[in-house]
Amino acid sequence: MDIFIQLIVNSLIAAALYAMIAVGFNMVYSVSKFFDLAYGTIAVLGAYFVFYFYNLFPDFSLVVITAGGIFFGGFFYFLIQKIFYQKFEERKSSNVVMLVVSLGIMTITQALVAIFFTSQFQTIYLNFESNFKILGAVITPIQVILIFSSIFVFFLIFLFYKFTSIGKKAKALADDPFMSEIVGINTKRIRAIIFFIAGAVVAFAGILSFMDVGIEPTSGFTFLLNSVAAFIIGGPGNFLGSLVGAVIIGFVENFGVFFISGQWKEALTFIVLILFLIFRPDGIFKSKKQNK
């Protein structure tokens, strides 16, 4: 029973991380309509920002450094969008071209991180007084923060789309970019804002993962793969779907390795993804629009 609860907790920790990244990826995909492979590396940049400044100023507030890392992630992603993606969009480049551009940005960013920080696995040891126990399951303070942050971020994004003018415009842009421009929405500005927010979200996820288990320059791609799987399982454009997809991936991974060999951990995610693509290609929550 104790082990079973711990497995659930482990699954929720993994799901929280994937959900944050998947929801951010969903935001970006909805306004750009291409698979941005560089998205995961923003998580790594945020984590390395914290790693660098925490080592440089060990007595400085970790919360402030984390906030700096989140802002840095958002700003860096905003710059990538402005400098690269926007230019290619203006040229009406195909999705394949955009994918290749994002692959290039991902590779360059990873290489730069490895050059500046080496490709050594990095972590920080946060000496918390004690861990929490829930029905026999152990959970560290960072893991609690990760789970609650994920819920909080999801709630904020929901509010952003529901109640803010920019959020509503972003939804309109996601539905019909052409019509959005006709009605006077500044689509370039909206895209830039969405990229900034999504960059900040994924950087936050990367920082929390770094504090939990550590990070290396190529970790971003692993984050991206699992989160894209969650995004596809949940259905592109559906934020609740991304959340549910992340929970499915988290549970499959953790319960999977418990019952079969640990070597299958990475493969399990993609077995589930392929099954979804075969039997439910539009994701768990088929939108009304898709049904039509």
Site residues (CB under 8 A) for another protein?
A: 2-3, 6-7, 10-11, 13-14, 114, 118-121, 123, 125, 131, 138, 213-216, 219, 222, 253-255, 257-258, 261-263, 265-266
DSSP state of 223: H
- Closer to another protein by CB, 213 or 240: give it: 213
**C-beta closer to another protein: residue 71 or 270:** 270
Alpha carbons 276 and 274: distance in angstroms, whole number? 5
Least distance from another protein to the Cβ atom of residue 99, Å: 23
**Residue 47 DSSP symbol:** H
Q: In whole angstroms, how close is the CB of 62 to another protein at the nearest point?
A: 17
Q: Which amino acid is at 38?
A: A
φ/ψ (deg, to 5) at 133:
-125, 125
Closest contact distance (angstroms) between CB of 235 and another protein is: 26
Q: Which residue's CB is nearer to another protein, number 62 or number 284?
A: 62
Please state the closest distance from residue 76 (CB atom) to another protein, in A.
Answer: 23
Reported in sequence order, the residue ranges of the chain that DSSP labels E, i.e. its strands, are 132-134, 137-139
Q: What is the dihedral of CA 209, 214, 217, 218, to 10 degrees?
A: -70
What's the min distance (Å) between Cβ of 171 and another protein? 35
Closer by beta carbon to another protein, 133 or else 189: 133
Give the C-alpha separation, 5 to 21, whole Å. 25
